[in-house]
Amino acid sequence: MVAIHAVPAFKDNYIWVLEESGRAAAVDPGDDAPVEEFLARRGLQLSAVIATHHHADHVGGLPALAARWKCPTFGPAREVSAELTHRFTEGERFEVPGIGIELEAIDIPGHTAGHVAFTGSGILFCGDTLFACGCGRLFEGTPPQMVASLAKLARLPKDTRVYCGHEYTLANLRFAAAVEPGNPAIAPRVAREQAKRDRGAPTLPSTLAEERATNPFLRAAEPAVRGVAEARAGRKLGDAVAVFAALREWKNAF
């Protein structure tokens, strides 16, 4: 049984470390130091590094880890290419060396132009695209791209565990409550996530079922969400993409 550990980095990043029988794989290592410390503490050998997109807080530690452990590196076909030994686009699969699970790439442009997610065995590594109760900012993509990317992730099985790149959950829930004050799933989730933070635990992973129930960026087609977004924008909004864009703009200023 593969264990997945959260290794905190920087202010609010998580580097996800998969562990199986003394071997490990690191997902989105923005920094090599906390990964090395974790591996040493648990007596693990690193056998792979996986990256979802090119931002430094996700790949800053990748070259040093790959050099020290002489391990393969897996990531998006269209980003961080010089540092990757294996590159993936939509539908391509690989077995994580030493860990034994198979992951499949999903192209999810929006936060960055070549962002990918990796999914398999009920696990989703989605970087900075889908957050617990939120989504990433659109640095290199458009609202239609991000809406399509989030929809692909939302279609995965509802018990899929969502491992995203940052601990933003409580702040995201405050926004979700502002968007949907009448959503009965939000207050219980706030209580659950706050209890995790109070005992020093990550709020992650979440599940896709929780995200579908509470994440406003997956709920742009809901009449209540549209109504609030239109009231705030002071105009009618066209399709779900327009509602999403209005929500994203609101969140940026929230």
Min CB(115)–Zn ion separation in Å = 8
In the complex, minimum distance from the CB of residue 55 to Zn ion, in angstroms, rounded to a whole number: 4
Instruction: Name which of 166 and 219 has its Cβ closer to Zn ion.
Output: 166
Phi, psi of 86 (to 5 degrees): -140, 130
Q: How far is the CB of 58 from Zn ion (least distance, A)?
A: 6
Verify binding: residue 79, Zn ion, rule CB under 5 A: no
Binding mask 22-41 toward Zn ion (x if CB under 5 A, else -) reads --------------------
Known catalytic residues are 53, 55, 57-58, 111, 128, 166
Touching Zn ion, residues 102-131 (CB under 5 A)? 128
Question: Do the Cβ atoms of 117 and 82 come closer than 8 Å?
Answer: no
Q: How far is the CB of 52 from Zn ion (least distance, A)?
A: 8
Backbone angles phi, psi at 146, to 5 degrees: -65, -40
> What is the rounded CA–CA span in Å between residue 24 and residue 13?
19
**HEC profile for the chain?**
CCEEEEEEECCCEEEEEEEECCEEEEECCCCHHHHHHHHHHHCCEEEEEECCCCCHHHHCCHHHHHHHHCCCEEEECCCCHHHCCEEECCCCEEECCCCCCEEEEEECCCCCCCCEEEEECCEEEEECCEECCEECCCCCCCHHHHHHHHHHHHCCCCCCEEEECECCHHHHHHHHHHHCCCCCCHHHHHHHHHHHHHCCCCCCCEEHHHHHHHCHHHCCCCHHHHHHHHHHHCCCCCCHHHHHHHHHHHHHCC
Q: Closest CB to Zn ion among 55 and 189?
A: 55
CB nearer to Zn ion: give 32 or 128: 128
Question: Nearer to Zn ion by C-beta: 19 or 128?
Answer: 128
Q: How far is the CB of 107 from Zn ion (least distance, A)?
A: 16
Pick the binder of Zn ion from 55, 78, 87, 219 (CB under 5 A).
55
**Is the CB of 10 or the CB of 250 nearer to Zn ion?**
10
Residues found near Zn ion in the complex (CB under 5 A): 55, 128
